[in-house]
């Protein structure tokens, strides 16, 4: 219900969207968002994972359900593409099948994990998926790959990635402390290089700011922290004997992800450097909270929110 209401409100503000297109996106997106939020509850997640284990063919049902959600906008608006729908179905089925086969007693990042991680994340980050379905945007894909990763790694792989959206009391101060540490380190070099530009908005539209915060949390911070801290950092920590190596690798990888966001080389280098520092802060929040992704997701959301509100000029 929350997902349906949120996507309806957002899409209704776009006058170019027809009622049919809005209904199609509500039907396609809200079950994905609802499932992602539900899996953020430890109790619901355990029940869902038990269902996956009890049914030997569960990966086919999951892949079929996700494929149907992928196809709905095209079916409603006359833009259904069977070729891309089949490709999408096989990608999801392959991801879930490989992760199910790779299950072991203790989650340690191996080469099949790395391959699946790249198959899901790299095309999403470079927007390669956008051409598969014209009616689906970044928001849909961010939630779709998050749900696939959660089911694949936490459900089938049995990885303790810490995907828990129910906050603990200690998560809040950890997230705010991470925010402060990151800002202290990045603001001066950011302003000095011209990457950041401080300004205070003349007015504050509270409903718009709240919607923006929720959007950042669910579609930017959540998938990025899931992939870079929950899967990459956690998996590397289990596979490496050196405590600092996983943190450095995951943070640098996170920084490099921002390379294609700008065209100017000096600014690209600056962005990568500052994002790497931010990645260290998010990683610290994740580990400090006991490998709970909520603290890292909240810290990431706060940093991006403050950046967009006060530091982009």
**CA gap 29, 121 in Å, rounded:** 19
pLDDT in tens, 214-228: 999 999 999 999 999
Listed by start position, the domains of the chain span 2-156, 171-310
What pLDDT is attached to residue 126? 92
Instruction: Considering only the C-alpha atoms of the chain, give the largest distance between any 2 of them, rounded to a whole number of Å.
Output: 58
pLDDT in tens, 278-294: 999 999 999 999 999 99
Q: Which ranges of the chain have pLDDT less than 70?
A: 2-17, 313
**CA gap 267, 236 in Å, rounded:** 29
What pLDDT is attached to residue 23? 81
What pLDDT is attached to residue 224? 98
**CA gap 67, 85 in Å, rounded:** 7
What pLDDT is attached to residue 38? 94
On whether the CB atoms of residues 41 and 49 are closer than 8 A, the answer is no
Element of type H or E holding 10: helix 2-12
**CA gap 79, 200 in Å, rounded:** 44
**CA gap 144, 67 in Å, rounded:** 10
201 three-class SS: coil
What pLDDT is attached to residue 15? 57
CA 95 from centroid of its chain's CA atoms: 17
On whether the CB atoms of residues 87 and 81 are closer than 8 A, the answer is no
What pLDDT is attached to residue 3? 62
Rounded-to-5 percentages of helix, strand, coil across the chain:
75, 0, 25
**CA gap 47, 300 in Å, rounded:** 29
What pLDDT is attached to residue 26? 84
pLDDT in tens, 138-148: 999 999 999 99
């Amino acid at each position: 219900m929350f997902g349906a209401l949120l996507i309806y409100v957002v899409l209704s503000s776009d006058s170019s969207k027809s009622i049919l297109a809005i209904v199609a996106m509500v039907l396609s997106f809200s079950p994905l968002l609802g499932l992602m939020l539900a899996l953020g509850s430890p109790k619901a997640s355990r029940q869902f994972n038990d269902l996956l284990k009890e049914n030997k063919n569960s990966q086919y049902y999951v892949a079929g359900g996700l494929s149907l959600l992928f196809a709905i906008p095209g079916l409603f608006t006359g833009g259904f593409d069977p070729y891309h729908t089949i490709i999408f179905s096989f990608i999801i089925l392959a991801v879930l099948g490989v992760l199910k086969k790779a299950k072991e007693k203790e989650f340690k990042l191996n080469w099949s994990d790395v391959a699946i991680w790249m198959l899901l994340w790299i095309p999403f980050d470079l927007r390669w998926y956008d051409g598969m379905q014209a009616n689906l945007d970044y928001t849909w894909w961010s939630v779709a790959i998050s749900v696939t990763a959660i089911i694949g790694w936490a459900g089938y792989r049995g990885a303790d990635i810490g995907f828990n959206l129910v906050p603990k009391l200690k998560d809040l101060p950890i997230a705010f402390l991470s925010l402060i540490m990151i800002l202290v380190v990045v603001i001066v070099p950011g302003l000095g290089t011209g990457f950041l530009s401080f300004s205070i908005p003349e007015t504050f539209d509270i409903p718009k700011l709240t919607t923006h915060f929720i959007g950042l949390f669910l579609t930017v911070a959540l998938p990025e922290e899931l992939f870079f801290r929950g899967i990459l950092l956690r998996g590397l920590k289990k596979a490496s004997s050196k405590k600092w190596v996983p943190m450095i690798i995951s943070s640098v990888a996170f920084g490099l992800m921002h390379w294609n966001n700008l065209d100017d080389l000096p600014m690209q280098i600056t962005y990568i450097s500052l994002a790497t520092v931010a990645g260290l802060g998010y990683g610290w929040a994740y580990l400090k909270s006991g490998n709970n992704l909520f603290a890292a997701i909240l810290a990431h959301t706060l940093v991006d929110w403050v950046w967009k509100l006060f530091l982009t000029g």
